[in-house]
Structure 1
Amino acid sequence: MDLEAVRTFAAVVAAGQFQKAAADLEITQQAVSKRIAALERDLGVRLFTRTPRGAELTIDGQAFLPHARELLRAAERAVASVRTGRRPLRVDVIASRVAPSGLLREFHRVNPGIELDVVMLFDVEAAVTALRSGAIDASFRAVAAPGRPLPDDIGSVRVLDEPLQLLTGPAHALAGARSVTVAELVGHRIWMPGIAPGTEWAAYYEDLVAGFGLTIEATGPNFGSDALLDTVADTPALATLMSEHTRLVWPAGHGLRRIPVTGPTPVYPHSLLWHRDNPHPALPVLRAHLVAAAPALDAAGTWRPDWVLPR
């Protein structure tokens, strides 16, 4: 159905006259008449009766009016859903419990007037594809793996170096330590079933293993963090690595320990990615907030892979 004809129909109803509707729409009276005639042909009914007082709705016109108004409201909602500046800012945070989700929650607390759509994509390749297509406006990522730099049209800024911690059950050999060095982790089984080959986090942990001689196992299906916590709590020989800001909840009986890792402290580098041509007005606000709120990066005594881009 021709929405301009429907809009003209609604304008004639509101004005009560074809001539006044033409002035309101800033078109000629002849154009109004043509649009109404075309709409009546499409519907197979007469919508108006002309009288000395103006244009009055027929019975069919009265029946069509509420549906016409709903069509116009639906069209307005459809346009608003994609119009830059009126639609929410779409941001990828990987998962709901990790640090980027907390960064985005803090941004929303400070900027409650900016609407957000939060999505969770799988890896940096999916995020870059979504940024380039306009499906999302920004993504929190570890940037890129060795040999796979970001495309020139994708901007990035590092916003957080998040320390890793060792997570053990109460019977693990290191459970009583207040902190552990990376060297002390050598020879211990670190179980991380969520590492997917080809992802940026897989590249990160591959470099960590190669740099310090650690043993990280990614065997078995990934049933999620709750299943991981259950297994680590019940298996003295297993531990896992968790980012410091990852939100975890477990039963009190698990007795899990979160232990800082030092000498050096491995940090996971979170960056914000966006398409350089993205015009959404809230995107610069998000970038500025994250840069201003970012703690010190590249701190002494920390480690990150060589391929991590500078801020």
Structure 2
Amino acid sequence: MDLDLAQVRAFLATAEHRHFRHAAEELSLTQQALSKRIARLEAALGERLLERDGRTVELTAAGERFLEPARALLAAGATAVAAVRGTVRPLRLDVWGHLFAPLRTVRQVLDDGAVQARGQGLPVVEIGHGRDLPSVVGALLREEVEAGFGRYHALADRRARTLAHRLVRLEPVDVILGPGHPLAASHALRPTELRGGRLLLPAAPERLEFMQRFAERFGLGDALAPEANLGAEHFLAQLRESADGFTVLPADVPLPEGAAGAGLRAVPLVDPTPLYAWSLIWPSQGAHPGIAALLGGFAEVGRRNRWLEYRPGRDWLPEAEHAELTGQR
């Protein structure tokens, strides 16, 4: 029988998210279109692959058996296309964490003259945009992309266990304050001096694991998430008008010009300085041949710019990153 790879992709996205709406959003489909693709796949196979029970989705025994072969089907499809074209396919790299401007770091590596001069085999990189870490992990498992770049952390569902990752940059974090905030005139602040204010989040807390760890470590209380995510400019406008609200951003993130950034202050955090960790992730098996060269480029630029400088007595990292850098894993 012939299998439709679009239907297989719909099954994999749903199996990985265990949620129809999240899977549909990742594939830019309506839930109805996603459900129809899965229903047609199940009809073709003559087996039910997913159990739908209200809000939850679980794999049937047949779905469990189909999962790994389905991933292999998508990988084989990508390999077939590359073979026809007769060239090494571009390395598709999804970035996430867009308020934190991840492309700054990626572009610095790809545009670096020394890396280009020395980097034989540096791949052609096609940039995509993932919603968050779980969505990029899903795209990697379905062979839709070859690598991801953003802040990596362990996922509760352990979907990333077949992926490799490497921390490539540590970036100091600033606190962002509106002009009416009582600490706006400060030249530097300790994280504990932010207690009593409101940590504002640009998106749902589950998508901002670093901010959760930061708030817990420095006793900042519950962070305030938006009622709706209406984009960076809307979020910063709300922050600018808040008398006691603040957020945190990596220090090199450029604040917007014009009305969106008017009056906002970026104040360095010290004693300790929180560090935001950027990582590259990729499949541990069958990696794209350009991954090694890309990692070499990150290492080259990182050495020159001291991207991995970390002093535990002066800086703060969440526990997982601290353990990775100090060899305590």
| Shorter-normalised TM range | 0.5 to 0.7
Residue 9 of structure 2 corresponds to which residue in structure 1?
Answer: none
Equivalent residue in structure 2 for 1:281, among 289, 296, 308: 289
Larger Rg: 1
Equivalent residue in structure 2 for 1:270, among 257, 274, 278: 278
Equivalent residue in structure 2 for 1:290, among 292, 298, 304: 298
Residue 212 of structure 2 corresponds to which residue in structure 1?
Answer: 206
Residue 248 of structure 2 corresponds to which residue in structure 1?
Answer: 241
The one-letter code of the counterpart of 2:317 is R
**Do residues 217 (structure 1) and 231 (structure 2) align?**
no
Retained in 2: the 8 A contact 1:108–1:114? no
- Equivalent runs, 1:72-91 vs 2, <5 Å: 79-80=81-82, 86-91=88-93
Residue 142 of structure 1 corresponds to which residue in structure 2?
Answer: 151
Residue 181 of structure 1 corresponds to which residue in structure 2?
Answer: 190
The one-letter code of the counterpart of 1:269 is A
**Do residues 119 (structure 1) and 128 (structure 2) align?**
yes
The one-letter code of the counterpart of 1:103 is T
Cα 1:86–1:146 change in 2 (3 A) is closer
Cα 1:187–1:104 change in 2 (3 A) is same
**Aligned-pair distance for 1:151?**
4.1
Gaps of 5+ in 1: 1-77
Separation of aligned partners in 1, 2:285 and 2:85: 15
Residue 33 of structure 2 corresponds to which residue in structure 1?
Answer: none
Residue 44 of structure 1 corresponds to which residue in structure 2?
Answer: none
Residue 324 of structure 2 corresponds to which residue in structure 1?
Answer: 310
**Aligned-pair distance for 1:175?**
0.7
Separation of aligned partners in 1, 2:150 and 2:262: 31
**Aligned-pair distance for 1:82?**
8.0
Retained in 1: the 8 A contact 2:200–2:225? yes
**Aligned-pair distance for 1:184?**
0.6
Separation of aligned partners in 1, 2:86 and 2:141: 15
**Aligned-pair distance for 1:160?**
1.0
Cα 1:86–1:150 change in 2 (3 A) is same
Post-superposition Cα deviations, 1:113-163, rounded to whole Å, max 9, x if no partner, equal: 742211111222222222222211111132223756674431111011122
Separation of aligned partners in 1, 2:84 and 2:239: 45
Equivalent residue in structure 2 for 1:171, among 165, 180, 197: 180
The one-letter code of the counterpart of 1:285 is A
Retained in 1: the 8 A contact 2:191–2:218? yes
Cα 1:296–1:256 change in 2 (3 A) is same
Q: What percent identity do the matched residue pairs reach?
A: 26
Residue 256 of structure 1 corresponds to which residue in structure 2?
Answer: 264
Retained in 2: the 8 A contact 1:189–1:239? yes
Separation of aligned partners in 2, 1:84 and 1:271: 31
Aligned Cα root-mean-square deviation (Å): 2.7
Separation of aligned partners in 2, 1:154 and 1:240: 31
The one-letter code of the counterpart of 1:121 is G
